[in-house]
A and B are shown apart, each in its own frame.
Chain A
Amino acid sequence: MGLVEVEGLTKRYKWRVAVEDVTFYVEEGRVTGLLGPNGAGKTTIIRCILGLARPDRGHVRVLGETVLGGLPPRVAREVGYVPETPEAPPWLTACELLEYLAVMEGMSSLDARVQARRALALLGAEDFCGRRLGGLSKGERKRVLIAQAFLQPRSVYLMDEPMAGLDAEWIAEVRRLISEATGGEGAAVLLSSHLLKEVEGLASSVVVLKKRVLYRGGVEDLLSKLTQARKVVADVDDAKRALDVLRAKGLKAQLVSAKRVEVLDADVEDVVIALKGIVRIYGVSSARLDLEEAYLALVRGEGGG
């Protein structure tokens, strides 16, 4: 159960499957991270939740109402959406865009003016008010598009890589806005990213995606699972040769330099036995993966591919 429920979602483009049998829930008062590498299907899922794209199978409910070809009017006002790419009608000024959208949400012209300026100010974008969107930089336009999601308090925010393209100052500010929305107002936030560190410290649960769901659960559990992951580092005279041998044995080896290979999910002994007599071994040791490495190993190793 959750404010957003995605069940058995499958989406194809022509015949290519983009996401397959994805199920997860976005609960109130917390941030749910939607993680996955490029092309994993994050944007596709968010577009299906909003009714911008139609699932081929499965269904989506927002605030208990089924989404069919568009958000039901009753819930639409409760949903804020930050699109991934910073495209916006270049012939509008930032204030015009936000005012028109606010009027479309049912605000009076006066309220729309006030709320548009307030929302822009949240993102430090009040100076863009009278400027055409076509004349803003990508990051500036992205801030206007984030502001648009905050035109009024929402129960659900769907944010597709909101931090992409922003500088450090505004990444921090957006993180603050997101925690405020979930904390004080109890909103449900779905935050997509291809970087673990972007949702770390913000999300309490995560869905790791690569066409299918690779992991779904608490972020703490994921982190402890990831930090337990270890790798074996082998220094040898011919790393290329070693790599071939290790891969031939089905081990997840990768080249680090001409004289070093790393092996994931393996014991030191396995590596030594595999390489003995084939290359000269200078040293073999076991080390912890850092978080980002472990996350990469997770999304690379398993899944739809």
Chain B
Amino acid sequence: MAKGLYGIMLYEFKRDLRKKTLILVIVFTFLPVLVAAILKAVGAQVEDERLWALIMGLDIGSSIAGGAVASLGLAGWAWLVAVLYGGDLLASDLREGGLRLIAIRPLGRKGYVMGKLIALTAFLVIVFALAGVAAGVSATIVGGWQKGVWLAPILGALIGLGSVPTALIASLFGGLTRNAVTGFILGAAASLLTGVVIGLSLSIIIIKNPLSLEAWRKYYELNIIVSGAIPITAGPTLPAILYYLIEFDNKFIPLPLPLVENPEVAASLVEVSLTPLEVLPLYIASTAIGALALAYLNYRLALKIEV
């Protein structure tokens, strides 16, 4: 049993390694490093001690330059990497005839899906952990001593783990349509739209008066909770929650108000009364339950599909 599963995992690992998406991960890791180095070279003020977390996209920064680096951060790209790996997880084996060769082996379709899912999860965890190491090392080179940089590989691994639900949604779409490209597109749409829809609908419901600080606080708090309850938004945010818990004394960084009409309000930041520790269990639970539920759906699909 174990040996057969190992064979399927080898197969999936090889596929993951041969995919060009790997180059993209490398680009996403070093792009913010490059931007940070350039910004520093032109004299901009960057949060040097927290540079590793900006590069990884865990911290949103408190300076403009820091914000710019953070906006390119690795965590913000995890969905794309997940979608590119997930979209053809099943679709490629349907199209390329891999599944018909594997499904007739003793482990059958069950072993096939289990091996593939375990291998993809392990692969995403390892790749993002390595990206975390790279971010830590390059941040030290660019910004000097780094506070809490030991967390980088661990939170990197968590970025990988947190992107599994997104990968599995893409895989489901790819498998259902037998087409990797629709897997990519629908997976990307699902992961991007979910965040947008949550933000929009909450703002419509809650922000009656855009000048009310209280309304914005409530909006952010509900956004944190609702995003935590939905696996494809919870997973990618999970590492940042842990980062604020450990590195910011269990406080969320004050969030900027996206408001320009009243210069007084626009300049201010709003602090949420929720703490990272309070919402962490929600984020962990929904990521885990979401990943397992989606894994199960992928499994059902792979059992059923004719090749």
Contacts and interface: CB of A to CB of B under 8 A. Distances in A.
A76 B108 contact: yes
A219 B105 CA distance: 32
A103 interface: yes
B102 A101 contact: yes
Q: How large is the interface on A (under 10, 10 to 19, 20 to 34, 35 or more residues)?
A: 35 or more
Interface string A93-121: 00011001111111110001000000000
A175 interface: no
Interface in A116-146: 145
Contacts of A148: 101
A104 B106 contact: yes
A105 B4 contact: yes
Contacts of B27: none
A76 B104 contact: yes
A103 B6 contact: yes
Contacts of A87: 95-97
Contacts of A96: 14
B306 A89 contact: no
Interface string B6-38: 111011001100110000000000000000000
Nearest to A74: B106
A88 B108 contact: no
B21 to A, nearest CB: 12
B105 A91 contact: no
B303 interface: yes
A71 B14 CA distance: 26
A105 B6 CA distance: 10
A73 B102 contact: no
Interface stretch (A29-37, A47-55, A206-214, A239-247): A47-55
A76 B4 CA distance: 12
Interface residues of B, number: 31
A257 interface: no
B109 interface: yes
Contacts of B303: 69
Central interface residue in A71, A100, A101, A145, by most chain B CB within 10 Å: A100
Contacts of A112: 7
Contact of A104 (B14, B105, B307): B105
Contact of B97 (A73, A77, A83, A104): A83
A92 interface: yes
A104 B3 CA distance: 7
Contacts of A97: 101
Contact of A103 (B10, B92, B100): B10
A24 interface: no
Nearest to A133: B96
A97 B306 CA distance: 21
B109 A100 contact: no
Nearest to B111: A104
A103 B106 CA distance: 11
A264 interface: no
B98 A88 contact: yes
Central interface residue in A85, A89, A102, A145, by most chain B CB within 10 Å: A89
B103 A70 contact: yes
A145 B303 CA distance: 23
Nearest to A132: B18
Interface string B145-180: 000000000000000000000000000000000000
B103 A92 contact: no
Nearest to A145: B101
A217 interface: no
B306 A52 contact: yes
Given A52-B104, A70-B108, A71-B104, A103 B98 contact: no
B106 A91 contact: no
By Cβ-Cβ distance, the 8 closest A-B pairs, closest first, are A103-B7, A87-B97, A104-B7, A91-B18, A73-B106, A76-B106, A104-B105, A70-B108
Given A104-B8, A108-B3, 12 more contacts: A53-B307, A71-B104, A71-B108, A79-B104, A91-B14, A100-B11, A104-B11, A104-B105, A104-B107, A104-B111, A105-B106, A106-B3
Interface of A: 47, 50-54, 69-71, 73-74, 76-77, 79, 81, 83, 85, 87-92, 96-97, 100-108, 112, 145, 148
20 contacts: A52-B103, A53-B306, A53-B307, A54-B306, A70-B108, A76-B105, A76-B106, A79-B104, A88-B98, A91-B14, A100-B11, A101-B7, A101-B101, A101-B105, A104-B105, A104-B107, A104-B111, A105-B106, A108-B3, A148-B101
